A and B are shown apart, each in its own frame.
Chain A
Amino acid sequence: MKMKNPEIELIKNGKRLDGRNLDELREIKMEVGVLKKAAGSAYVEWGKNKVLAAVYGPRSLYPAFLKDPTKAMLRCIYNLAPFSVDDRKKPGPDRRSVEISKVSTEALESVVMTERYPNSVIDVYTEILQADAGTRCTALTAASLALANAGIPMKDLVAACSAGKVSGEVVLDPMKEEDNYGDADLPLAIIPRRNEVVLLQLDGRLTREEFDRAYQLAFDGALKVYEMQKKTLQDAMKKSAVVGD
């Protein structure tokens, strides 16, 4: 994935290609309850990323041998739409999306109280409509909003953010150009209330000092995302309460 492209200057006078500072997030928009037929849903725009998350269930799990009478099964599916990237993506699960589905499921499992719904399954579908680096963080953020919107008991929300290394500098929330021509990418998902890490991956190389810096940047970024998630959920409830006159 990592390419060298000496023609593009990714960081100029401490500013990035899109004018951001090194420790600045892209603009994030969140909305919940966007799908009528789903139990819960969320739509998140994170820079040029556009992600739709839908929750179905808890519902009966088939094939029946997968049923667990002590807890519900959680299935989070990450899917890149064929039109989400520059070169058309071949539809269907591939090595990368299966991996992201797995790690997202495990991240969400640490907050969802699955023991409340024995023998059933909770399906979370995250569809990437437009991709611009950091999609797994966007998807996870949207997924936890959708789960809250579906009324599924959770111990906390999951907030995610990534950091990376571009032209030798550690930056927060890399966008596509920085991801493609950068040196490293570090997605991180946390449970903010207990400061626990539920997802941490690293693509590329970082020194110990760079890692610490990137980790701290991503962590602080995720906390900002968490505040936005809280506000989105609160606002949505207030809005539904004053419908009418």
Chain B
Amino acid sequence: MFRVKNNEFVIPGQLVGTDIRHDSNCFREGGNVYSSVQGLARIEDNTLKIIPSSGGYTPKEGDVVIGVVKDVLHGKWLVDIDASYPATMDGEEVTRNPQRVDLRDYFRVGDILSAKIFSVDEIHASKLGRPSKLEGGYIININPKRVPRVIGKNKSMVNMLREKTNSRIVVGQNGRVWINSANTAFVVSVVRKIEREAQTSGLTDRIEKLLNNA
């Protein structure tokens, strides 16, 4: 039995249901299920999900993230993905023979790349793959929990942003947004607005209006 309504705000330790299916943001004690974070409760497919309203990024398999190369090691790179855990990328991702070639020919310390997380182990250390270099542009950091809103359903929001402002934008699940635009300041202000108003409804329409008026 659910003890919260759909779209209700919950806080840590709040009883959200008894003998229900729930996600990893809840915990069970006996039959009772409690929320472990603050956020928005969603009931989907008879399962309770909590969408956290804050918190850092924890790497997840399949995520596309934006990283900054921190170090070039033997046959691999150490990449900063703004998580509290290390991420590495093997040289094999770009060359057949990473031991023989100079990896600096591909990525140097300080280079920016977008890559997919291929695997995450039990202590959250992740391996990246399929990198693409991002040259020029700027990176801004947003709340990782609000990234889905910046991307939008089927990437609708980010595609709209790209088209209307004629800019290149990559949104990483780790909360980093790479922007290469003639009018960076404007794009940044729009992304910030989406982040700020992530939990309001009718956001896409408002943003569309804003972009059309600009």
Contact = CB atoms under 8 A, between A and B. Distances in A.
Interface in A217-245: 230, 233-234, 237-238, 240-245
Interface in A25-70: 39-40, 57-60, 69
A118 B123 contact: yes
B196 A243 contact: yes
A151 B145 contact: yes
A58 B40 CA distance: 22
User: Which A-B residue pairs are the 3 nearest by beta carbons?
Assistant: A151-B55, A156-B13, A151-B54
Determine the interface band of chain B, counting residues with CB < 8 A from chain A.
Answer: 20 to 34
B106 interface: no
14 contacts: A40-B54, A60-B84, A111-B12, A113-B27, A118-B124, A120-B84, A149-B54, A153-B27, A154-B12, A154-B37, A234-B11, A240-B199, A242-B200, A243-B197
B13 A119 contact: no
A90 interface: no
A193 interface: yes
B186 interface: no
B151 to A, nearest CB: 19
A245 B39 CA distance: 21
Contacts, number: 97
Contacts of B56: 39, 57-58, 151
Interface of B: 9, 11-14, 25, 27, 34, 36-40, 52-56, 84-86, 122-124, 145, 196-197, 199-200, 206
Given A238-B9, A244-B206, A148 B199 contact: no
B13 A155 contact: yes
Contacts of B37: 148, 151-154
Contact of A154 (B13, B53, B145, B206): B13
Contacts of B124: 117-119
Given A57-B84, A69-B123, A119-B85, A151 B9 contact: no
Contacts of A151: 37-39, 52-56, 145
Q: Is the interface of A mostly helix, strand, loop or mixed?
A: loop
A241 B52 CA distance: 13
Contacts of A241: 9, 199-200
Interface of A: 39-40, 57-60, 69, 111, 113, 117-120, 148-157, 191-193, 230, 233-234, 237-238, 240-245
A155 B38 CA distance: 11
A150 B197 contact: no
Contacts of A242: 200
B196 A244 contact: yes
Indicate the member of A39, A57, A154, A238 with the most B CB atoms within 10 Å. Answer: A154
A237 B9 contact: yes
Given A119-B123, A155-B36, A150 B54 contact: yes
A156 B39 CA distance: 14
A239 to B, nearest CB: 11
B91 to A, nearest CB: 24
Contacts of B206: 244-245
Nearest to A72: B84
A231 B123 CA distance: 35
